[in-house]
Chain A
């Protein structure tokens, strides 16, 4: 086990006073707290910081840590002294700031998680205990949101086996995705989380919907957007083209004199909304043909000579 230098983690001197430590923690916590940070390794960083603060904010724990620091400095790896007794357990404050797990290093000094209070699990009565809630991301294809069929979901739960040991078990469910559910929304399956112990109820399962990006369609609320490439002459003369939708191809009439960026609405071909169906918007994108032969170039030349179109007319006004 590696010895953790909590002072270094917080960036304070070994003789820093309480306000300095608090200040250093607050600054780092704001930077790395997973709820507010966009740093890539925020969660791991915050854990380190929270653990360091947990020890250094508490006079008793800090004294114990300092003692071990003197002892543990000699070698590269750290083992607590054989006669080491975590004396304080949970120190003078009585509760921990941080709600996650501490490192092995921390637990070897201050005792394991079982000694810690679980501050907000109010439903324990004797050994009867409600199972933990489980939160999972559920990737959903756009096509699946239209389907009436249930989606298979599997996940692992820990539950006490016959001998009282915790065992892991795979759980499989078929879940009906409610119509109109959007990206990032959660759905709740009551009692389908981790099983309770001692006859306690199971926790809940929360599935967070993640719409998988589609190669063709973009999502805008309950509407879909597809970019439709057009040849210049299709835009100029109008055309009847085939356009894919989530439920198959449809015919779409492109009016003459269409422009890049113009949106055509195909009613009812979007996602299922709450109570109504969204639409599909076809956004037109006029594309130049790649390289052209002499004959084609001649025709462009003719067009250039006969058409009186100045796309930059706006500029010459000023």
Chain B
């Protein structure tokens, strides 16, 4: 079984994310999702955006954050995750240097 790495069309994305179209529009306007246009001018979504959209939706409903606030929060959360990952890797490598 070979996974699909290809991008999703608008229909596929709506199908996979269950987003109502006005919510989708708001997320794109706020820059939470940034699909790109293919050569025919149709939208293409990376499938990882399904998870971004779900996370954004949870934050919107459960923390009552507006869309531009969510865009900022997601950026910062990504950065935080990245820094934590780097920190973990650096600590691990430092450990190999100082132990033994």
Binding site for B on A (CB under 8 A): 26, 29-30, 33, 35-36, 46, 50, 97-99, 120-123, 130, 133, 150, 173-176, 178, 183-190, 192, 204, 206-207, 213, 218-220, 225, 227, 229, 283, 285, 287
Contact = CB atoms under 8 A, between A and B. Distances in A.
B5 interface: yes
Contact of B63 (A26, A130, A176, A229): A26
B16 interface: yes
Q: Which 5 residue pairs are nearest across A and B when measured between Cβ atoms?
A: A187-B3, A120-B18, A227-B96, A176-B2, A188-B47
Contact of B57 (A36, A120, A186): A120
Given A29-B63, A36-B73, A120 B20 contact: yes
Nearest to B61: A97
B39 interface: no
A166 to B, nearest CB: 21
Nearest to B57: A120
A204 B3 contact: no
B77 A225 contact: no
B1 interface: yes
B31 to A, nearest CB: 18
B59 A33 contact: yes
A33 B63 contact: yes
Interface of B: 1-5, 14-16, 18-20, 47-48, 51, 55, 57-59, 61-64, 73, 77, 85, 89, 92-93, 96-97, 100
Given A121-B18, A122-B18, A178-B2, 8 more contacts: A29-B62, A29-B64, A36-B59, A97-B61, A120-B19, A175-B1, A189-B1, A218-B92
B55 A178 contact: no
Most buried by B among A123, A188, A227: A188
Contacts of A133: 16
Given A123-B15, A218-B92, A192 B48 contact: no
Contact of B93 (A50, A150, A218): A218
A173 B1 contact: yes
A225 B93 contact: yes
A121 B17 CA distance: 9
A219 B77 CA distance: 22
A46 B58 CA distance: 12
A115 B16 CA distance: 24
A287 B98 CA distance: 10
Contacts of A97: 61-62, 64
Contacts of A123: 15, 18
Contacts of A207: 3
A176 B5 CA distance: 12
Contacts of B96: 218, 227, 285
Contact of B89 (A29, A204, A218, A283): A218
Nearest to B3: A187
B78 to A, nearest CB: 11
Contact of A174 (B1, B92, B93): B1
5 contacts: A33-B59, A97-B64, A187-B4, A218-B96, A219-B89
